[in-house]
Amino acid sequence: MKTRILFVHPSNEMYGADKVLLELVDALPADYEANVWLPLDVHYAGDELRLELAKRKIDVDFVDLPVLRRSYMNLLGLLALLPRFLKTARRLRMERFELLYINTSALALLAPLSRLLGRPAVVHLHEYLAGVTRRILQLPLSCASEIVCVSEAVRDALPGSAKLKSKVVYNGFDLLPAKTQPSAGKLVFVLASRWNTWKGHQTLLEAWGNLQRQDVELRIYGGPPEIGDSVDVVGMVSELANKESVRICGQVRDISDALTGCHVVLVPSTNPDPLPTIALEAAASGRAVVASRSGGLTEIVSDGETGWLVSPGNPREWTERIESLSIAEVLAAGRRARSRFDGRFNQAAFAKNMAGIYAKHANR
């Protein structure tokens, strides 16, 4: 009988942590099998993650999981989650699994429950914890058998007791086929993320509106989150003096084509970004990155070598950096970024690390 790992995950789309879940199930050795639970509290119209899991013949169940979303970060919100927590507890008691794998802190409340059932629980932490979130999650994280952190920045933000049982495992993805970029013409930039309030769209668009150069184009991908606060990207673009240089491309299933058609990827997050997948995908594609100097971005981008780091929330500095770039510079930085990716964020290293974690906890 195969060793069974139950993965719980708080969304059904195809952004950073969703893509990492696919890498997690892909890293399972042959003598393991996976079951994935996805949430019921939010309707995800595209059903994207489930479809990708189905391609891998992974069993998926939709369960009323106690997902700790931002709106629940208070006493009344936690009490409102109690019925979901109890329903999930009853279902877990009937389920056969050797390890509960909790992907993201949004489901960390299940860690103590798994331990009460006598099963190990690993939490894969994609978030930079601070403030009330850090305080609420301190106890659940202390019940985890191990905490896998996506970056040193994420690990450094952990409470002391949780940090002792943590390990940094960088996300690993395929090295995409090398594709050449135009060495003349417009310098094309891409901004691709959810339109969350902290992803820096306002800072970047203010900076873009102040540009004097005209040989540039900005392509914006993504859309508002299914739940939570968002920014009016369309409205902000419409007010730019140079709005003709901006294209809003919306959401796409595969970002690789967008990366192929650009020279530089922009990551202007105003809060510490744990380890944004788009910056890794850019490096894998051989594209330079201009990013905020915070969080895990400083572990991806080597300033002045594979890209450039800019003060978060500083439109003037973003304008100056974009004004200064030449096509020759960004092409060279992109080549170095690809080489750095292959040595540090490759899929083989990720799979090896994860196989060791599965064996350590699922078979003890």
Q: Give 109-129 pLDDT, tens digit per residue.
A: 999 999 999 999 999 999 999
Please state, as a whole number, how many other Cβ atoms lie within 10 Å of the Cβ of residue 91.
Answer: 14
Residue 244 and residue 12: Cα distance in Å, rounded?
A: 34
Geometric angle at alpha carbon 15, from 320 and 143, rounded to 5°:
110
* pLDDT 10s digits, 160-199: 889 999 999 999 888 777 777 777 789 999 999 999 999 9
Whole-number Å distance between alpha carbons of 352 and 102:
19
* CA distance linking residue 15 with residue 277, whole number of Å: 8
Kindly report which listed range (67-81, 206-220, 231-245) carries the lowest average pLDDT score: 67-81
Q: Are 152 and 275 in contact (CB under 8 A)?
A: no
Residue 214 has pLDDT above 60, yes or no: yes
Given this model, what pLDDT does residue 76 score? 84
CA–CA separation, 294 and 296 (whole Å): 7
The total of other beta-carbon atoms located within 10 Å of residue 260's CB is: 15
Q: Give the other-Cβ count within 10 Å of 198's Cβ.
A: 17
Residue 45 has pLDDT above 90, yes or no: no
Residue 59 identity: D
Structure tokens at 273: 């970004």
Q: What pLDDT is recorded for position 364?
A: 55
Helices (H), ranges, the chain? 16-26, 48-55, 75-94, 110-116, 131-142, 152-156, 160-163, 201-209, 233-238, 256-260, 277-284, 297-300, 315-324, 327-344, 347-362
Which residue is associated with the tokens 């391609």? Answer: 55
Query: The tokens of 89 are what?
Result: 């507890």
Angle at 221 between CA 263 and CA 344, to 5 degrees: 55
Confidence of residue 21 (pLDDT cuts 50, 70, 90): very high
pLDDT at 257 (0 to 100): 85
pLDDT at 362: 85
- Alpha carbon distance 303, 290 (integer Å): 9
Report percent pLDDT > 90 for the chain: 82
**What Rg value do the Cα atoms of the chain yield, rounded?**
21
DSSP annotation of 10 reads S
pLDDT, mean of residues 63-81: 86
Residues 338-351, mean pLDDT to the nearest whole number: 91
What Cα–Cα distance (Å) separates residue 83 from each residue in 62, 66, 88? 16, 8, 9
Across the chain, mean pLDDT equals: 93
Q: Is residue 229's pLDDT more than 90?
A: no
How is residue 191 annotated by DSSP?
Answer: E
pLDDT tens string 273-306? 999 999 999 999 999 999 999 999 999 999 999 9
122 pairs with which residues across the strands?
101, 146
Residue type, 263: H
3-state helix, strand, coil in the chain (%, to 5): 40, 20, 40
CA dist 224 → 192, 228, 234, 246 (Å) = 12, 9, 11, 18
Task: Return the percentage of the chain with pLDDT > 70, whole number.
Answer: 100
**What domains appear along the chain, each with residue ranges and CATH number?**
3-172+346-362 (3.40.50.2000), 187-344 (3.40.50.2000)
Alpha helices by DSSP H, listed for 98-232, are 110-116, 131-142, 152-156, 160-163, 201-209
